[in-house]
Structure 1
């Protein structure tokens, strides 16, 4: 079953709301997001770069690291009261207007 961004935001909020600590502060969220992006970079480097994993390193995956980034992004948005669907729509509008001629379009033949 596919979930909407709103459903994912509610699911994460329901999970976080069961803990007294609640959401982290914005600065801590940013630090966590930076950490997760670094872990994604490491996985991409292992998969597509020239740095193979050591035999002792954990078997993480790009998929899991992207999932971690999605989770922390949703936490960040929830903590600031941001509707990610609305944020997505605004970004797509920007790309479809300001950036509409920035890239070479494929032929539609």
Structure 2
């Protein structure tokens, strides 16, 4: 199965949100939700890789779903503002590829 494009993600989220009278939350609410979801991701990362392990009997979280929740909120924010995520990603990569092109040690190509 082919992976969806960013446009596909935006269209699918828009179709989902468009079913509801309330529509998209306003930007401050979306950013608050983004922070909440980031906290959930941070907690899961801390439990898996950090010093604070889960309590005995505490259910294992799903790191992928926590990342997905962040993506969903970012798509909602982008859609609500009429932004194209593919364009955002392209511009962001150009920034990193220019600004940080010599910042890190490059791997030596294997023969």
TM norm. shorter chain > 0.5: yes
| Separation (CA, whole Å) in 2 of partners of 1:21 and 1:10 | 18
Q: C-alpha offsets along residues 12-43 of structure 1, whole Å, 9 cap, x if unaligned?
A: 00000000000000000000000000000000
1:83 Cα shift? 0.3
Residue 63 of structure 1 corresponds to which residue in structure 2?
Answer: 64
Counterparts of 1:88-103 in structure 2 under 5 Å? 88-103=89-104
| Separation (CA, whole Å) in 2 of partners of 1:58 and 1:24 | 30
Residue 32 of structure 1 corresponds to which residue in structure 2?
Answer: 33
Change in CA separation of 1:58 and 1:32 when aligned onto 2, cut-off 3 Å: farther
Please provide the CA RMSD for this pair: 1.2
Residue 80 of structure 1 corresponds to which residue in structure 2?
Answer: 81
Change in CA separation of 1:11 and 1:102 when aligned onto 2, cut-off 3 Å: same
1:82 Cα shift? 0.7
Runs of 4+ displaced beyond 2 Å: 54-60
Total equivalences in the alignment:
109
Unmatched 5+ stretches in structure 1: none
1:56 Cα shift? 5.5
Q: For structure 1, which segment, 46-55 or 28-37, has the greater mean C-alpha deviation from structure 2 after superposition?
A: 46-55
SS in 1 for 2:108: coil
